[in-house]
A = this chain, B = another copy of it.
Amino acid sequence: MDIHPTAIISPKATLGNNVTVGPFSIVHDNVEIADNVVIESHCELGVRNQRTGDKPLVVGSNSHIRSHSVLYAASSFGSNFVTGHRVTIRENTSAGKNFQVGTLGDIQGDCVIGDYVRFHSNVHIGQHSIVGNFVWIFPYVVLTNDPHPPSNVMQGVTVEDFAVIATMSVILPGVKIAGGCLVAAHSSVNRNTKANTIYAGSPAKAVGETSKIRLKDGSRRPAYPWPKHFKRGYPEEAIKILESIASDNA
């Protein structure tokens, strides 16, 4: 245990073995931190409001929460969870194993996120979003939810397994991004997409199959499905899944 003397840890919080908490960080009541977790400086974990009640914040083993992050109560994260700096995640969100969310990420709560998901910096995930496994979302992407704002109608976005949403795209309310899709940068998607298809523009249109994109590494191998060439940073059990996907599509 390596708790900095300036950190404020509630006696009602549960900390596993080998947990590090940096200077000026706060861990509130009912926070459950598993083994081998690093919490950097200036963080606040387990923020409560009317919607959280007494439900805990659960952080899985081997996680790393970078500085200035704020995580609410009533959310849970599987093992190997990693954040960038200044991440905000509101209540009632659950994420699976090895979720990574970059600097300035803003997850609004009431979201379900699968295993091995990667959000780059500065994504905005509206309430009621559903994100599958092995999804990639790039900077300044917004998943919206209100079809005629402001209103009480909430239509969350769904992003299926292995889909990729590139920089500065907006997914409009209720839209489903099908498995293996690629949404090109600076697009606005206003209807459901077909699997393994590239969408581009505002409003976005289908512009071909993802398999037609070639790797710019000199090999001219197909760039999609991306598990065929990219496995960096995943844990061993995820690499096995990626390898099986790659061979299915060989």
Contacts of A139 in B (CB 8 A): 106, 124, 142
* A176 contacts partner chain B, Cβ-Cβ < 8 Å: no
Instruction: Let me know if A57 is at the binding interface, CB within 8 A.
Output: no
Q: Does A167 contact B (CB under 8 A)?
A: yes
Residue of B nearest to A134 (CB): B150
Tell whether, in the assembled complex, residue B103 and residue A150 are in contact, meaning their CB atoms are under 8 Å apart.
Answer: no
* Contact in complex: A230, B67 (CB < 8 Å): no
Minimum CB distance partner of A24 in chain B: B24
List B contacts of A166 (CB < 8 A). 144, 149
**In the complex, residue of chain B having the shortest beta-carbon distance to the beta carbon of A213:** B148
Binds B, one of A13-21, A29-37, A91-99, A216-224: A216-224
Q: Is the CB of A106 within 8 A of B88?
A: no
Q: A149-B164, A168-B168 are in contact. Are A144 and B70 (CB under 8 A)?
A: no
Per-residue contact bits, chain A 219-249, to B (CB 8 Å; 1 contact, 0 not): 0000110100110100000000000000000
Asked if B170 and A186 make an inter-chain contact with CB atoms under 8 angstroms apart, the answer reads yes
Contact A217 B103 (CB under 8 A): no
Asked if A44 contacts B67 (CB within 8 A), the reply is yes
Decide if A128 is an interface residue (CB 8 Å cutoff): no
Q: Is the CB of A124 within 8 A of B124?
A: no
A151 at the interface (CB under 8 A from B): yes
Q: Which residue of B lies closest to A7 (CB)?
A: B23
- 9 additional contacts, CB 8 Å, given A106-B121, A144-B167? A40-B44, A41-B44, A70-B85, A88-B103, A122-B124, A139-B142, A140-B140, A144-B166, A153-B215
